[in-house]
Amino acid sequence: MTVRRLPVERRTVLRCCLCDRPADGAGGAAACDCEPAPNRRAVTEPPPTAREFHDSLAGRDLWRYQALLPARREHGSGLQVGGTPLLDLGTALDGVRLRAKDETRNPSGSLKDRATEVALAVARAHGHREVVAASTGNAGASMACIAAAQGLRATVFVPAAAPPAKLTQIRAYGAELRTVDGSYDDAFDRAVAHAREHGLYCRNTGVNPYTREGKKTCALEIAEALGWEVPDWVVVPCGDGNILSGIGAGFAELADLGVLPGVPRLVAAQAASSDSVRRSWAAALARGGWVDREPVPVAPATAADSIAVSRPRDHLAAVRALLRSDGLAAAVAEEEIRWAAGELARRFGLWVEPSTAAGYAALARLRREGTVREGDSAVLLLTGTGLKDPDPWPAAPPEAQR
Ligand SMILES: *Cc1c(COP(=O)(O)O)cnc(C)c1O
Ligand SMILES: [Zn+2]
């Protein structure tokens, strides 16, 4: 007798990050009354077995991991998102085995494209025609790019002080750019209100549960490129904490499936003036792992605009990802970021934006302090290209140079 295997129907279920209750299926609104309304986490049910996961791998972009994603390749943009190289940088920083995941090669030049590709595929699958996002710059450029390829109308709210190259990029893709006189937080609230008022699909980090799902594919690619082994450290520049929670989710999911033997220790790299996640993490450690619902507010003043965030929108999941991976957070000074940007460009030929340089600065700091040891392996995420912010430290005006 032959037994016919029926294809397994997998679906993505959303659960509240705080109480774990399932959110309602269609709109994914929280079914609980946790306050403030927390982001949700997406869970594939039932999860594939390790064997099914390996057998499902196909293609060279992030849709290779469709078995673990909330949308399907046919709803994707067709731009190549993901499938970026893991560069071997040899030995650096006094004995660290260093690799870099080059996310600058994504269509709009930053890792944000992974989040947008998956979030907008979900939007399209649900028949949305118009999408909205707030951004410090890159998420907006990314949404403008992928919405253009998808034939979706895009409106982007950005602080007026964002680097001009990012504003130019958003306009070039034909998105409606709304500059906000204020901070990223102001832009965030405007975008949420606009989406609510007009019933539009909102890509905002921390509101949209699928951005994390897209970002987790970066971890899946790192693991696969290393032959399903884990490095000792993965260094993640951190603002809202959504890349961090995504990378954490990716490694944790593979470990749960039995595809990986464990998870790497994550490092949240923050600017000294924008270190809310580091503060929450330190407080949680002191309280035996209990994470405060509300982020610690800070007042960012850093050239690393992509990680300048006063109230991180995914802080809960980010801090939990640090705790779960036995990771840590490091806050670096502006001089360290500037030094790191110079090193990456001149020593390795990697011109990145200041937020990315903060990652290298954090790794250098941890190595100096002895936390990262000689012979350890580390992967640095190159989250954004230098072309995004070509002049982050403009020369002082002549009178100030005397
Ligand atoms: C958005 C971004 C980050 C920070 O990601 P979060 O999810 O906000 O922590 C880091 N680097 C670059 C280039 C980014 O665009
Ligand atoms: Zn809840």
240 pocket-lining for ligand 1 (C-beta < 6 Å):
yes
Interval between CA 184 and ligand 1 midpoint (Å): 13
Q: Does the CA dihedral 101-104-110-116 come out positive or negative?
A: negative
Phi-psi region of 195 (alpha: psi -120 to 50; beta: other; left: phi over 0): alpha
Q: Record the tokens describing residue 134, joined without a space.
A: 């707030």
pLDDT for the residue numbered 372:
98
The pLDDT tens digits for 303-360 are: 999 999 999 999 999 999 999 999 999 999 999 999 999 999 999 999 999 999 999 9
237 pocket-lining for ligand 1 (C-beta < 6 Å):
yes
The pLDDT tens digits for 268-293 are: 999 999 999 999 999 999 999 999 98
pLDDT for the residue numbered 10:
83
> Tell me, what amino acid is at 341?
A
The pLDDT tens digits for 115-128 are: 999 999 999 999 99
- Looking at 3.40.50.170, 3.40.50.300, 3.30.930.10, 3.40.50.1100, the CATH number of the domain 112-202 comes to 3.40.50.1100
Q: Are strands 201-202 and 130-134 parallel, antiparallel or unpaired?
A: parallel
Of the listed ligands, the closest to the CA of 21 is: 2
295 pocket-lining for ligand 1 (C-beta < 6 Å):
no
**Is 399's pLDDT higher than 70?**
no
Are 86-108+209-388 and 112-202 equal in CATH topology?
yes
108 pocket-lining for ligand 1 (C-beta < 6 Å):
no
Q: Are strands 153-159 and 176-180 parallel, antiparallel or unpaired?
A: parallel
Interval between CA 361 and ligand 1 midpoint (Å): 16
> How are strands ordered across the β-sheet holding 377-382?
86-92, 96-102, 377-382, 233-237, 265-271, 328-332
Atom of ligand 1 nearest to the CA of 238: 9
What is the DSSP secondary structure assignment for residue 66, as one 8-state letter? G
Peptide bond into 36 cis (omega under 30): yes
Interval between CA 204 and ligand 2 midpoint (Å): 19
The pLDDT tens digits for 69-127 are: 999 999 999 999 999 999 999 999 999 999 999 999 999 999 999 999 999 999 999 99
Interval between CA 236 and ligand 1 midpoint (Å): 9
Interval between CA 139 and ligand 1 midpoint (Å): 8
11-20, 29-38, 50-59, 393-402: the lowest-pLDDT one? 393-402
142 pocket-lining for ligand 1 (C-beta < 6 Å):
no
Residue 131: exposure state from Cβ atoms within 10 A (0-12, 13-18, ≥19): buried
* In this structure, CATH architecture of domain 86-108+209-388: 3-Layer(aba) Sandwich (3.40)
Q: Provide CB contacts within 8 A for 96, sequence distance 6+.
A: 363, 367, 372, 374, 376, 377, 378
What is the DSSP secondary structure assignment for residue 227, as one 8-state letter? T
Of the listed ligands, the closest to the CA of 37 is: 2
pTM exceeds cut of 0.85? yes
Q: Record the tokens describing residue 357, joined without a space.
A: 């340089």
pLDDT for the residue numbered 396:
60
Of the listed ligands, the closest to the CA of 293 is: 2
What share of residues in the chain are helix, strand, coil (percent, to 5)? 40, 20, 40
Atom of ligand 1 nearest to the CA of 313: 8
The pLDDT tens digits for 219-246 are: 999 999 999 999 999 999 999 999 999 9
The SS3 call for residue 197 is helix
Of the listed ligands, the closest to the CA of 108 is: 1
Domain ranges of the chain: 12-75, 86-108+209-388, 112-202
Interval between CA 383 and ligand 1 midpoint (Å): 7
217 pocket-lining for ligand 1 (C-beta < 6 Å):
no
Q: Record the tokens describing residue 232, joined without a space.
A: 């000792």
In the chain the first and final C-alpha atoms are separated, in Å, by 90
The enclosing H or E element of 379 equals strand 377-382
Q: Between the CA of residue 298 and those of 123, 262, 302, 316, 330, what are the distances in Å? A: 33, 33, 12, 16, 15
pLDDT for the residue numbered 394:
82
214 pocket-lining for ligand 1 (C-beta < 6 Å):
no
Q: Provide CB contacts within 8 A for 323, sequence distance 6+.
A: 281, 284, 285, 289, 291
